[in-house]
Structure 1
Amino acid sequence: MYKKAVSPLIATVLLIAFAVSLGAVLLTYMTTLGSCGGVSVEIATIDNEPQICYNTNSNKIDFTLENSGREDVEYIKVTVTGALEVENVDIRQGFPKSETGKVEIDYKKQALGALQKIKIIPVVIEGNEEVICGSDKSLTIEGIPEC
């Protein structure tokens, strides 16, 4: 009577392959649980038109921000880049998960020059401290149309 079995070498290779694939799956899952892992913000769209514009009459940048992530955004940091200067503004407006809000930023055209782009960076609370999310969670918008 002959019994066929998997050789020890093949069993070892299969075990290592299983361990590596399990590690890859866990690593992918765990990185979304880290700081800002559940954060996802975007400019809301209506009829495929992004809801962002620069109002030349009031010198304000108006946009609608949507929190499509699984984590509340405590507030946002906005970097406004003009042709002459850059300004950083904290917008102390919360964006709970799955909610949308309108934002209005004063734009100092005399000091900053022509508007070039804005960068929106979410800030969340992890434990008891604020965490500024990295560039992979931020939005950069160029070519902002006039209202």
Structure 2
Amino acid sequence: MLDLLPDLFDHYPSKLTLLPLAFRAYGGKKLFWGEVVTVKCFEDNSKVKEVLAQPGQGKVLVVDGGGSSRRALLGDLIAQSAMDNGWQGVIINGYVRDVAILNTFNLGVYALGAMPIKTDKKDQGQVNVPIEFGSVTVKPGMMVYVDENGIAISEECLNFAFLS
């Protein structure tokens, strides 16, 4: 099941929406899915760190960082915390750092690019609010499905039984 999205779109074409941005894979896990938790922030990853320090079994953090290329919203230490707390992955409309290390982690990490400069910590941002990726709204509690073909969201948990 390396190519999940083509099969899901074939089987559930009206239940999935593809995120329109060009994300790159940085984590060692290229295929993952889970319940969406959201963070909206700009050049301050305080809320990203806070959320990923909590239990995240079966969840994926989706971050709207405004697409800023001036600061990295995720690095090796916060990614390690996400792994330690059972998160499936992190998707960032923004940038990451420590990419050589991220690639060795058993964590899904998709972002727009890499940037070596960390953020300021001002405890700014919002957790579990609807966020926009281009023309697509991502809401907490939705499901997200990710592989190297792209990133798709759904209002409901989709059954994979047809794949066996």
- Length-normalised TM-score, structure 2: 0.22
Which structure has the greater CA radius of gyration?
A: 1
Point out which structure has higher relative CO (alpha carbons under 8 A, 6+ apart): 2
- Higher strand content, 1 or 2: 1
